Amino acid sequence: MDTFTLESEALRLEFAHENGALVGLSAPQSGWRILDRPHLGLSFRLLMPLSEERRNNPVYGEKQRVTSVEVAPDRRSATLVWQGVTSERGGAHDVEVTLQVRLVGRQAVFALTVENRSEYVVETVYCPYLGDVQRPPGAEWFRTFIYSYATAQEWDLWPTFQNLRGYFGVDYPTQFAPWSPGVGAPMSPFFLMRSADQGLYVGVAAADYELVAWHCELRPGYSSSIDARVPEAPTISGKDVATRFAAVHMPYIQPGERRALTPVALEVFQGGWQRGVDIYKAWRDGWMSRPPVPAWARAPHAWQQLHINSPEDELRMRFVDLPRVGEACARHGVKAIQLVGWNDGGAGPGQPRA
């Protein structure tokens, strides 16, 4: 396989010249070979529905031939271009895909641009797309970590793989994060895959409005579905066992439109989840200034939540009674009141709103 490499002291990336697939990814300082089977390398993936009746029309980047590759002399950046792609059910399409990969400090930043000159919408884009994520050497477990509403979520990747979607809705055990009750849209700008003492950080690298979701998939499936056990051998029934990861963009690029997607950064870290979260915090603090905090909120204080109505129209409190409650809170040192009720016909009619 003809390949080229980008390398820093923190990361080494190896790409296939023919199709642009990322066939190797490793952390030289720890010896962790994150991607270690070149034939499972992936580059990108598109979804281009042909019609409402024929929506499942993917473009697999690993099946596309690269038109041009430009590697910087210092081996710290590369630009790959695919001039035209071929989908699984729609044939050839006039869609140009440009991927720029840059090593910036300890990170590898993937920035994909799609120019859609076809008649179809490019709905989703997977990039970066990792074909065979390996756990760190000697790890007793390997799992994900993601911010969720007021807390964090973790799901097992190995030795068990926690499926978050119904078996009837996916082809393989799947994790599409974030997930929490009542929340379907992406809400976390970063994602960790980690063991007890090291991990891989993936996060957005620009303060863009475009949402990015994080997706893991176990192929071809479990060795035992009773306990969600990942196969121990590298193959099962002649199929490669692999855990895929993708940053999933949903840009809905219209015919005639050119779109630069939100860049995504990869970085390895040593330590627990706190070290991974610190990477995001450092990036966030580099561009986002915190608003002034009022004096009353700088010290610990008590607050009270009042549920003034219910979905069954049980009127628990009248608005005219709120001043009396406020006076009582002031006497007893309660600094804030949170009112919870139901909006009639407003945003999310019939749903609770604070």
Give tens-digit pLDDT for 123-176: 999 999 999 999 999 999 999 999 887 788 999 999 999 998 887 888 999 998
CB atoms near residue 156 (< 10 Å)? 15
pLDDT digits (tens, 9 = 90+) for 285-311: 999 888 888 887 787 778 888 877 766
What confidence tens digit (pLDDT) does each residue in 77-112 have? 999 999 999 999 999 999 999 999 999 999 999 999
CA dist 33 and 27 (Å) reads 6
Q: Which of 13-22, 103-112, 141-150, 213-222 has the lowest mean pLDDT?
A: 141-150
The mean pLDDT value of the chain amounts to 91
- For the chain, what are the domain ranges? 3-285, 295-353
What is the percentage of the chain residues whose pLDDT exceeds 90? 74
What is the pLDDT at residue 290? 83
Burial 121-150 (b: 16+ CB within 10 A, else e): bbbbbbbbbbbbbbbbeebeebbbbbbeee
Q: Answer whether residue 345 shows pLDDT above 60.
A: no
* Positive or negative: CA dihedral 67, 132, 26, 112: positive
- Residue at token pair 């005219």: 320
Mean pLDDT of 198-209: 94
Alpha-carbon dihedral sign for residues 220, 243, 26, 204 = positive
Where is average pLDDT lowest: 43-47, 102-106, 324-328? 324-328
Cβ(20)–Cβ(43) under 8 Å?
A: yes
User: Could you give the CA distance from residue 178 to residue 316 in angstroms, rounded to a whole number?
Assistant: 35
Q: Does the pLDDT at position 3 exceed 50?
A: yes
- Say which CATH class 3-285 falls into: mainly beta
Rounded percentage of the chain residues whose pLDDT exceeds 70: 92
Write phi, then psi, for 164 (nearest 5 degrees). Answer: -105, 0
How far apart CA 142 and CA 159 sit, in angstroms, is 7
* Least confident piece of the model among 28-37, 87-96, 231-240, 336-345: 336-345
Cα(268)–Cα(11) distance, integer angstroms: 8
Lookup: tokens for 78: 């590369």
pLDDT for position 311: 61
**Which pLDDT value is given to residue 344?**
58
Contacts of 309 (CB under 8 A, 6+ apart): 315, 316, 341, 342
Distance separating alpha carbons of residues 312 and 244, to the nearest angstrom: 46
Express each pLDDT in 233-256 by its tens digit.
Answer: 999 999 999 999 999 999 999 999
- Poorest-confidence range of 143-147, 230-234, 338-342? 338-342
Please name the residue ranges forming H helices in the chain: 273-285, 322-331
- The rounded Cα 207 to chain-centroid distance in angstroms is 15
Identify the sign of the CA torsion 270, 274, 280, 282: negative
Distant-in-sequence, close-in-space partners of 12: CB < 8 Å, separation ≥ 6: 5, 6, 24, 25, 26, 27, 28
Looking at residue 348, its pLDDT comes to 47
* Residue whose pair of structure tokens reads 């997930």 in the numeric block: 179
**Does 313 score more than 70 pLDDT?**
no
pLDDT of 211 > 90? The answer is: no
Q: Ranked by mean pLDDT, which of 7-11, 149-153, 184-188 comes out on top?
A: 7-11
Lowest-pLDDT range of 47-51, 139-143, 295-299, 343-347:
343-347
Mean local confidence (pLDDT), 42-59: 96
Residue 343 has pLDDT above 60, yes or no: no
